[in-house]
Chain A
Amino acid sequence: GESVGLHLPTLSVQEGDNSIINCAYSNSASDYFIWYKQESGKGPQFIIDIRSNMDKRQGQRVTVLLNKTVKHLSLQIAATQPGDSAVYFCAETYSSGGYNKLIFGAGTRLAVHP
């Protein structure tokens, strides 16, 4: 399959280490945030979400942190595995015209080495 994210920043980690992927969002009115994982040749896949009234949310091996003061999101992956290798996008949601709009960030490629 073709590669997604040829020109994206890359985070390289060793298998078993923890990974932290950062994202800055732009709209202070955004009230819902999602992290997506995109493997080569596939569509984005939901990982975890967080609402603006929270600053931390945990899933299975993943944690999302939200800092509204500086408009920053981070995704932490514990015990990173080769299957975690992909491009990760944060997305912010805000209301416009009565509907929610989803705006994606630039993405980060995670490369996991054995």
Chain B
Amino acid sequence: EAEVAQSPRYKITEKSQAVAFWCDPISGHATLYWYRQILGQGPELLVQFQDESVVDDSQLPKDRFSAERLKGVDSTLKIQPAELGDSAMYLCASSPRRGVGEQFFGPGTRLTVL
């Protein structure tokens, strides 16, 4: 069964350092999403891609976060510099069409900033 892949699964870093997360969506899925999930809350959308283009990054803290999906397949989310408040689970999801229907989630990357 096809799955969304994410790496690393866990990341511990010190504040002010740079971190990067990688996501490989299900093959053929045009839409890719990055979510942030703070412990005890539901996931919140950070950025949405349609193929290689960003279609929604209204909730992405652009002073320190960046995301790219250069070839419209896999994607990288970067934080530089990391802050204590960035500690959270970062989830990647994909869907086959323009955000219509089910989104398939990866296992997430748990980030701890010390």
B39 touches A101 (CB 8 A): no
CB contact between B56 and one of A3, A93, A97 (< 8 Å): that residue: A97
Asked whether A105 lies within 8 Å of B42 as measured between CB atoms, the reply is yes
Question: Closest CB-CB distance, B103 to chain A, in whole Å?
Answer: 6
Evaluate contact between B91 and A43: CB separation under 8 angstroms: yes
Of the candidates A3, A7, A104, A107, which one forms a contact with B44 in the assembled complex, judged by CB atoms under 8 Å apart? A104
Q: Is A8 an interface residue (CB 8 A)?
A: yes
> Is B105 an interface position by the 8 A CB rule?
yes
- Of B12-20, B67-75, B77-85, B94-102, the one with at least 4 CB within 8 A of chain A: B94-102
Bound together, the chains give a CA A100 to CA B102 distance in angstroms of: 11
Which chain B residues border A97 with CB–CB below 8 Å? 55-56
Q: Which of B55, B98, B99, B108 has the most CB of A within 10 A?
A: B99
A102-B45, A107-B41 are contacts. A43–B105 as well, Cβ < 8 Å?
yes
Tell me how far the C-beta of A66 lies from the nearest C-beta in chain B, rounded to whole angstroms: 17
Given A43-B91, A44-B105, residue A107 in contact with residue B56 (CB < 8 A): no
List A contacts of B31 (CB < 8 A): 99
Say yes or no: B42 contacts A49, CB within 8 Å.
no
Whether A101 contacts B50 in the complex (CB less than 8 A), given A6-B39, A44-B91, comes out as no
Interface readout for A13-52 with B: 1 if CB under 8 Å, 0 if not?
Answer: 0000000000000000000101010000111111001000
Given A4, A43, A104, which contacts B107 in the complex, CB threshold below 8 Å?
A: A43
Contact A99 B39 (CB under 8 A): no
With A43-B107, A93-B99 already in contact, 4 other A-B pairs whose C-beta atoms are closer than 8 Å:
A36-B105, A89-B42, A99-B56, A104-B44
A-B contact pairs, 22 of them (CB 8 A): A2-B39, A3-B39, A7-B39, A41-B107, A42-B108, A43-B4, A43-B93, A43-B106, A44-B43, A44-B91, A45-B105, A46-B102, A89-B43, A91-B42, A98-B98, A99-B55, A100-B100, A101-B48, A104-B44, A105-B42, A106-B41, A107-B40
